[in-house]
């Protein structure tokens, strides 16, 4: 029988491994596999929805064009000119804000977690009663059992 457990990489994993060795498990019965993180896993997919240069620029351009047209009725150059000025100003403001937002996001560290570790233990059904309480006392993330006859 095999028991497969996943842990976050921490000192509790080391304590768990030491404790199961003290309970009669040999190093030949224990397999520890550290998982590496996928490079760029925090980034969005290329076609995923989100705030882009065009999205925010179009929103701000529309808003300022509307305001320019409304208040341009009372100004000297008229609603068409002030609507055009508002459109240009809104587009530039939207692009500038997206540029600032993306620049701020790139300053944050991408990988904050230390990764995960998979532990495989080969044992008999009798030893299962010993290992299960030890697993749950040491912050295991998930546990699976495989009966291999």
How, if at all, do strands 2-8 and 30-35 pair?
unpaired
Assigned token pair, 127: 């030893």
On the question of pLDDT at 146 being above 90, the answer is no
> What are 58-107's pLDDT values in tens digits?
899 999 999 999 999 888 889 999 999 999 999 999 989 888 888 887 76
DSSP single-letter state for residue 50:
-
Q: At a CB cut-off of 8 Å and minimum separation 6, what does 135 contact?
A: 3, 5, 16, 143
First to last CA, the chain: 7
Reported pTM: 0.49
DSSP single-letter state for residue 149:
-
Query: 20 in helix, strand or coil?
Result: helix
Q: Helix 11-22 vs helix 125-136: angle between axes, to the nearest 10 degrees? A: 150
pLDDT of residue 91: 93
Based on its alpha-carbon atoms, the radius of gyration of the chain, rounded to whole angstroms, reads 29
Q: How far is 17 from 32, CA to CA, in rounded Å?
A: 9
With cut-offs at 50, 70 and 90, classify the pLDDT of residue 47. Answer: very low
């Amino acid at each position: 029988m095999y028991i497969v457990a996943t842990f976050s990489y921490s000192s509790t994993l080391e304590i768990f491994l030491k404790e199961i060795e003290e309970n009669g498990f040999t190093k030949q019965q224990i397999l520890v596999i550290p998982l590496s993180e996928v490079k760029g896993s925090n980034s969005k997919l290329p076609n995923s929805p989100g705030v882009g240069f065009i999205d925010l620029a179009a929103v701000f351009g529309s808003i300022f064009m509307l305001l320019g047209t409304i208040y341009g009725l009372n100004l000297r150059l008229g609603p068409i000119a002030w609507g055009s000025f508002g459109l240009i100003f809104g587009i530039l403001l939207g692009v500038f804000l997206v540029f600032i937002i993306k620049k701020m996001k790139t300053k944050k560290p991408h990988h904050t977690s230390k990764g995960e570790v998979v532990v495989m233990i080969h044992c008999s059904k009798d030893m299962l009663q010993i290992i299960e309480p030890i697993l749950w006392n040491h912050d295991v993330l998930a546990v699976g059992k495989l009966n291999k006859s």
